[in-house]
Every structure is written in C-alpha cells, then in structure tokens.
Amino acid sequence: MFSRDELEQAFAHFQSEVVKAAATPDWDLFANLFTADASYYEHAYGRFQGRDQISAWARRTMSSFPGSAMPGFPVAWHVVDTDRGWVVCEIRNVMLDPGDGSVHEASNITILHYAGDNQWSYEEDVYNPQKFLDMVRAWALVAHAHGTLSEEGRQWLAKYGGGVPQ
C-alpha cells in the first residue's frame, strides 16, 4: 500500500515527464516511467509488454502523424485509490494550433497502477477511436485551409480523412 502523498507525487512526476517527453521529443522519458515488466494496453494499438515495447510504440506513434501534431497531454482530472495503488485520470489530447487559434482535442481515460519508486506497472488508455478520427480530420481540414498542414498530415488526410480538399 502507498500513501496518498506518494501516489500524488508519483502522478505529478508522471505528468512532468510526459511534458518533457512531448517537448523534446524523447519518448524514452515516458517509457522510463514504467517498470521493466510493465503492461500497457492501448485499445486501438494493442497490448505492449515491458518497457522496451512501450518505448518502441511511444516513439513510433508520437513521431508520426497525428501524434506528432499533439504537443500536449494535460490532465483534466484524476482520482487516487490508495487502497489499491491506482490512479485514474482524463487526459486531454490537444492538437497544435491549426492556424486560426481554434482548439481541437479528444480525451481518453487513463488507468495507472503504481509499483513504487516513481514507476508504474500498468497503464490502460480507454477512448473512442472514432471520436479521435473525427477530431483529427476536423483539425487537418482547418490546418489545410490555413496552410499549416504538414505533408505527412496531407497524406493521412488523403488516406484516412476522406481526402484532401482542392
């Protein structure tokens, strides 16, 4: 069992490392938040076992569109279960400004199990993939209209977003 203070401090550390990982971008900072044998369940991408698989997935996902167009993942709220060592939170996945100042985001619920020493043994991300797809498509259309959509974003829009407007 862990105290509320330890869980809150570990979760604050988790959040600060995610901020650093997104800013650098060095997603090994994120992977290093997990124990060597951690389990990660991402509902659209699958299950990952161990820090190495978590790291490979995070680097691949966050260095390609649309992850590469998400500069921040602020926490909207969180709850702590001190009896079981769980933290459950809502993560806002916020896109870059597409050029008109509008905010485009979709949230997920993240479930974390604490293992001690600022490390987590489990993470699960729960969300509606269609909501994310719709949000990214809407963002890409606005970015395209303002000339800020990357070539990779244009390719994504052509393949998954219903096409690039003329």
pLDDT tens for 49-86 read: 999 999 999 999 999 999 999 999 999 999 999 999 99
Tokens of residue 124, six digits: 């699960």
pLDDT > 70 fraction of the chain, expressed in percent and rounded: 100
Given a cut of 90, is residue 148 above it in pLDDT? yes
Query: What is the reported pTM?
Result: 0.93
pLDDT of residue 87: 98
| Residue 109 DSSP SS3 | strand
Label residue 164 by pLDDT band (50, 70, 90): confident
Given a cut of 90, is residue 32 above it in pLDDT? yes
Between helix 51-62 and helix 4-23 the angle, nearest 10°, is 40
Q: Do residues 123 and 111 make contact, with C-beta atoms less than 8 angstroms apart?
A: yes
Cβ count near 10 (within 10 Å): 23
Label residue 163 by pLDDT band (50, 70, 90): confident
Tokens of residue 166, six digits: 């003329």
